[in-house]
Chains A and B, each alone.
Chain A
Amino acid sequence: MTNTWQDIKNANVIVVMGGNAAEAHPCGFKWVVEAKIENGAKLLVIDPRYTRTASVADVYAPIRPGTDIAFLNGLIRYLLEKDAIQHDYVRAYTNASLLVKEGFGFEDGLFSGYREEINGYDRSDWDYELDEQGFAKADDTWQHPRCVMRLLRNHVDRYTPETVSRICGTPQDKYLQICELFAGTAAPDKALTSLFALGWTQHSVGSQNIRAMAMVQLLLGNIGVAGGGMNALRGHSNIQGLTDVGLLSELMPGYLRLPTDAEPTFEDYMKTRQFKPLRPGQTSYWQNYRKFFVSFQKAIYGDAARADNDWSYDWLPKLDVPLYDIIRAFEMMANGQMNGYICQGFNPMQAFPDRGKTRRALGKLKFLVTMDPLDTETSRFWENFGPQNPSDPAAIQTEVFQLPTSCFAEENGSLVNSSRWLQWHWKAADPPGQARSDIWIMTGLCHRLREMYRKEGGAFPDPILNLTWNYTDPANPDPEELAKEMNGRALADLKDSNGAVTAHAGQLLEGFAQLRDDGTTASGCWIFSGCFTEKGNQMARRDATDPREQGLAPNWAWAWPANRRILYNRASADAAGKAWNPEKPIIQWNGSRWVGIDVPDYGPTTKPSDAVGPFIMNAEGVGRLFARDQMADGPFPEHYEPFESPSENVLHPKVRSNPAARVFADDRAAFGTAKEFPYVATTYRLTEHFHFWTKHALINAILQPEEFVEIGEVLARQKGIEQGGWVRVASKRGAIVCKAYVTKRIRPLEVNGKPTHVIGVPLHWGFTGQARKGYGANTLTPSVGDANSQTPEFKAFLVNVEKAHAPKE
């Protein structure tokens, strides 16, 4: 989230699209209700199904799964056409004026630079035209044909209300009603918040779905302000922490990127990480990248990381492919290229696309280690549970080690929530039986591996042997020690420019501003620096004092970065430093510094007259309507059909789906067509369950006991399917047999002149736990991911449905 859960209450309009906040985040949803009651806010819900969120919405509009970009590009067109944008904001705080290189273009569904052989783009022309000093050229009148604003206008021009309706199936009157409510928040003192989740990410165009809405928010001046922002509602209590500490294959902690094999030396690596400002006088905070990186290496390798060995750069793995995401990992497993798998806190049998392929792949492993508090389907993949898991144990040689772990309530530690707060929690009970903490297990593994390397050598022992391990109990590091390590310490006395000591050697750092690139500081995750200082554990703070009753309590827990609660908050004030909305200011210029209820996301004494942009992480200092070369699939979002779609791409029939998406050959062969599988399916969770965990809990199993699918009344009638009757739903990859919920909440959509039916597939049931056995939604889903993140396309695919007989008990 750019903002926070509590801040939702400041919104005038709340849009839930690409998510189902009431269903999936019922506790956080209280702030939506608060906004409605206390702030008179309007709630808009755009979703293929009439959801629990829709049940309390002011306006609901249906949309065909996988067509959000068409809707949002159409919305941008509407806002530009009606001139419903916040002009001063867009001029000062976005790249609307900047000029783009002449080579950039878009034609017939492809941006310039497409190379079919790599299924991707040469992105060198997707950037600004620079002047002699290396700054982006600008045209503040927006007249230049290659300024971002003109290019954007041209790009979205095709998305007329008729076209949007034709692609999305959204009735035009509902669509226009929603556009109008969006437009109202272009006023400087009005804010709209976007709440989204996996309904946007789990598409082959997932990242661009979010980009499109972020652009809408920039045009409306809703980023950085109270009640605004782009608010990703994270699905696990600590999934934000997972990305923050770099548990993705291409990342290191704090969103530093793992080197690639095209960067064999540290200097190669740093060459593309200078982050020189692209406009005069801009902050371009990533210029400090070297400090973050060196401090990270010092945290990992201690004294062994030195200037003369490039801070042990050589010990880092170098990626040979863009990323080793789960789809690639299971492809490799299925091909016998990966034969051992440590599965920590993850349940791929339920969570990864194409369950049949997942089961086959796991069966080819030599060993599988599962670390989980629960008896997961993954740890039992080899066992025959009947049609829900038809395995033949005799044919599977995989050795499975099932390690029971403690759960969050059985250990001290911190969780990072959607608002980026690191909240410390305390152990409430001892773990049952032989369960051990993940820290204890991983530590034991580490020590054993080191011992083997020490004794037996090996291909490349240095990265393992040189790891620092300075904990009070080396066999079981204390969570507080790990937190301090992430926060960082001074390794020598740190002095400011006047020679005064700001931190003594060994002291915990106050924040990442103290980090150095000369090896005198260590920090395991620079964005967490400040969470555990000499003043104590800031994450354990529980002071709910909210100075302006704007839902901003700066002394409750600790938020990254720098305890800042609302990102880009400089943009909450106009160019002169006065709040756009005087009723709900965040920070303002008082003549000598920035003051307010939040930590400024800006130089605290940087004068407004210096014209430093509010988006300090961007080299150009402004928000990007044009994403430069940062996205794999284009600097503007474009509508591409899901890989399994019932419709042609009416905009460019030759380029139907995302041309930059990576698809493995066996996965492509497992795509179905609308001829065989005529209905659009989408997966989702229900409020009674948390993913695949709570089916193990009796109360949750009672509240939602059995697998079902949701089918509209019209289709059910056509197919002779009765309420609560049995159906067989099949995709090209597999079939499930379960009960049908025949509902008015899904209506046929008129897409490109044809009625299109949507089938809803909740995802909670499996073959372990207390609830009734189920097949799992991923029996049906296709194995293709977003072109940028490789998040699987769980939200739009094709199936067929037939009435079925009740299975024999």
Chain B
Amino acid sequence: MADLQSQNYIRRSASTLTPPSVRDHEQEVAKLIDVSRCIGCKACQAACMEWNNLRDEIGHFEGSYDNPADLSPSTWTLMRFAEWENDKGDLEWLIRKDGCMHCEDPGCLKACPAPGAIVQYANGIVDFISENCIGCGYCVKGCPFDIPRISQVDHKSYKCTLCSDRVAVGLEPACVKACPTGAIMFGTKADMKTWAEERVVDLKSRGFSNAGLYDPSGVGGTHVMYVLHHADKPSIYAGLPDNPRISILVDLWKGIVKPLALAGIAFTAVTAFFHWIVAGPNEVQPEDEANAQRLLRKTDDSR
């Protein structure tokens, strides 16, 4: 969604340019997903498809209610259902709305080598700017939550925008508006944290002694948070990371490896230049040609 001005940016991928951040007076926003009051109806999924005008393929039944089976360039949010037996032997059906977490410290943005393909706004939303995307997939590797998906059609990366277009004009995200039980809420991050505290008190009173807020510090906190009945075990919720961190490879790439690699590339170029000056250009010699012909025949014979 490249419809917000760059003056909104507080971070911009692969840029030495400092964003102007003139709107840093804006309050940070957050979506709070209260898993304990979610009934898994998928209204959020339908609303996401409607608002963003996306239609995935009609899939198959694949052994659970997760449909489509995974996130895709056309499926930016997805209910994931997990059957879990608690220590009393009672079943719990944990239903979690999966999608971009809009990290305060976004691994995708950090990993992205395309200038301005991933940005973060003053309100905390992390957005992909498709025209700058080169489809390299580094954001996929950089994301601790396995969210972005690369389109096989236009080779660009897609994910939830937190309805940055709606939020920019004072509306809540489409999934929030559609949720019939109020399980998805939206507001300032501070308000959402206060509300989450109330919910945690209620859940504890109902016997969920480990209820809590999921706002993982490993990524600087997130702008999509969960109220979990079992905040001590996030991974039981269809693999929500217990302790999400940006991959060490991304840190290395942005930290030590990138300057080293740049130096390496520069060194190679300089060496090549001197080689050309000293030894002259590489040319094909008759014996090279003969070797190539022999190799070709060999391949043909083996068919």
Enumerate chain A interface residues (CB-CB to B < 8 A): 22-23, 26-27, 29-30, 33, 36-37, 50, 52-56, 58, 60, 686-688, 698-708, 723-724, 738-739, 741-745, 747, 770-772
Contact, CB under 8 Å: A699 / B90: no
A51's closest neighbor in chain B, by CB?
Answer: B93
26 A-B pairs (CB sep. < 8 Å): A23-B41, A26-B181, A27-B180, A33-B37, A36-B202, A37-B37, A52-B39, A52-B41, A52-B93, A53-B39, A55-B92, A58-B206, A687-B41, A688-B42, A700-B46, A702-B55, A702-B57, A702-B58, A702-B59, A704-B65, A705-B61, A723-B63, A724-B62, A739-B60, A742-B63, A745-B91
Contact between chains at A33 and B41 (CB < 8 Å): no
Pick from B36, B46, B62: contact of A703, CB under 8 Å: B46
Q: Do A744 and B49 contact each other (CB < 8 Å), given the known contacts A53-B39, A687-B40, A702-B57?
A: no
Residues of B within 8 A of A703 (CB): 42, 45-46, 67
A50 and B40 form a contact (CB under 8 A): no
CB distance from B176 to the nearest CB of A (A): 14
Contacting pair A698 B55 (CB below 8 A): yes
Would A704 and B83 be within 8 Å (CB), given that A687-B41, A772-B58 are in contact?
A: no
Q: Which residue of A52, A701, A708 is within 8 Å of B40 (Cβ)? A: A52
Pair B83/A744 contact, Cβ less than 8 Å: yes
Query: With the chains together, A698 CA to B56 CA distance in Å?
Result: 9
Interface of B is mostly: loop
Query: How far, in Å, is A770 (CB) from chain B's closest CB?
Result: 7
Residues of A within 8 Å of B58, CB to CB, are: 698, 701-702, 705, 770-772
In the complex, B154 has a CB within 8 A of chain A: no
Contact A724 B55 (CB under 8 A): no
Q: Smallest CB-CB separation from A26: which chain B residue?
A: B41
B99 at the interface (CB under 8 A from A): no
Closest B residue, CB atoms, query A43: B206
Task: Name B29-51 residues within 8 Å CB distance of A.
Answer: 36-43, 45-46, 49-50
CB neighbours (8 Å) of A771 from chain B are 58
Is there contact, CB below 8 Å, between B63 and A741?
yes
Q: By the criterion CB–CB under 8 Å, are B93 and A745 in contact?
A: yes
Q: A27-B180, A30-B181, A37-B37 are in contact. Are A705 and B60 (CB under 8 A)?
A: yes
Contacts of B56 in A (CB 8 A): 702
B142 interface residue, CB < 8 Å from A? Answer: no
Residues in A whose Cβ lies below 8 Å from that of B49: 699, 702
Q: Interface size bucket, B side?
A: 35 or more
A-B contacts besides A52-B93, A699-B49, A745-B83, 18 pairs, CB < 8 Å: A37-B202, A52-B40, A55-B39, A56-B36, A56-B38, A58-B206, A699-B46, A702-B58, A703-B45, A703-B46, A705-B59, A705-B67, A723-B63, A724-B62, A724-B63, A743-B83, A745-B91, A745-B93
A53 to B95, CA, bound (A): 12
Question: Which of A30, A56, A700 has most B Cβ within 10 Å?
Answer: A56
List, in ascending order, chain A residues with CB within 8 A of B83's CB: 743-745
A704-B67 contact, Cβ under 8 Å, with A29-B39, A30-B181, A745-B93: yes
Contact A741 B37 (CB under 8 A): no
User: Is A29 a contact partner of B60 (Cβ separation < 8 A)?
Assistant: no
Contacts of B199 in A (CB 8 A): 37
In the complex with contacts A27-B180, A33-B181, A37-B202, A55-B60 CB distance below 8 A: no
* Interface pair A29/B181, CB less than 8 Å apart: yes
- Given A699-B46, A702-B57, do A30 and B41 touch, yes or no (CB 8 Å)? no
User: Beyond A56-B36, A687-B39, A705-B58, is A26–B91 a contact (Cβ under 8 Å)?
Assistant: no
Q: Note all chain A residues with C-beta closer than 8 A to B182.
A: 30, 33
**Distance (whole angstroms) from the CB of A117 to the closest CB of chain B:** 49
Q: Contacts A29-B180, A29-B181, A703-B67 given: A55-B93 contact, CB under 8 Å?
A: yes
The distance from the CB of B142 to the nearest CB of chain A, in whole angstroms, is: 29
Considering the chains assembled together, what is the distance between the CA atoms of A745 and B183 in angstroms? 23
- Note all chain A residues with C-beta closer than 8 A to B41: 22-23, 26, 52, 687-688
Separation of A29 and B36 alpha carbons in the complex (Å): 14
Taking A50-B93, A703-B45, A770-B58 as contacts, is the C-beta distance between A26 and B63 under 8 angstroms?
no
In the complex, chain A residues whose CB is within 8 Å of the CB of B93: 50, 52, 54-55, 745
Q: Is the CB of A739 within 8 A of B181?
A: no
Q: Is B144 an interface residue (CB 8 A)?
A: no
CA distance A629 to B123 in the complex (A): 68
**Residues of B81-109 whose CB lies within 8 A of A:** 83, 85, 90-95
Q: Take A33-B37, A742-B63, A743-B83 as given contacts and tell me if A699 and B68 are in contact as well, using a CB distance cutoff of 8 Å.
A: no
A738 CB to nearest B CB, Å: 8
Contacts A705-B60, A741-B64 given; does A55 touch B95 at CB 8 Å: yes
**What A residues does B40 contact at CB under 8 A?**
52, 55, 687
Q: Kindly provide the distance from the CB of A805 to the nearest chain B CB, expressed in whole angstroms.
A: 16
Q: How far is the CB of B208 from chain A (nearest CB, A)?
A: 11
When chains A and B are docked, how far (Å) is the Cα of A53 from the Cα of B39? Answer: 7
Closest 3 interchain pairs by CB? Answer: A724-B63, A22-B39, A55-B93
- With a 10 A CB-CB cut-off, give which of B49, B56, B62 has the most chain A CB atoms: B62
Shortest distance from the beta carbon of B73 to any chain A beta carbon, whole Å: 14
Q: How far, in whole Å, are A622 and B256 apart by their CA atoms in the complex?
A: 84
Candidate in A26, A60, A700, A741 with the most chain B CB atoms within 10 angstroms:
A26
Question: In the bound complex, what is the Cα–Cα distance between A703 and B50 (angstroms)?
Answer: 13
Check if A706 sits within 8 Å of B55, measured CB to CB. no
- Closest partner residue, chain A, to B93 (CB atom): A55
Closest chain B CB from A267 CB (angstroms): 53
Kindly state the separation between the CA atoms of A255 and B64 in the bound complex, as whole angstroms. 44
Best-buried of A698, A739, A743 by chain B (most CB within 10 Å): A743
Task: Tell me if B180 and A724 are in contact (CB < 8 A).
Answer: no
Contact of B61 among A29, A33, A706 (CB under 8 A): A706
| A706/B63 in contact, CB under 8 A | no
Contacts of B91 in A (CB 8 A): 50, 60, 744-745, 747
Chain A residues contacting B37 (CB-CB under 8 Å) are 33, 36-37, 56
**Could you tell me the distance between the alpha carbons of A406 and B191 in the complex, rounded to whole angstroms?**
46
B45 contact set on A, CB distance < 8 A: 703
Instruction: Tell me the complex Cα distance, A724–B64, Å.
Output: 8
Q: Which residues of B contact A741 (CB under 8 A)?
A: 61, 63-64
Alpha-carbon distance A701/B57, docked complex (angstroms): 9
Nearest-CB distance from A98 to chain B (Å)?
42
A22's nearest neighbour on chain B, judged by CB, is: B39
Q: How far is the CA of A33 from the CA of B37 in the complex (A)?
A: 7
Please give the distance in Å from A23's CB to the nearest CB on chain B. Answer: 7
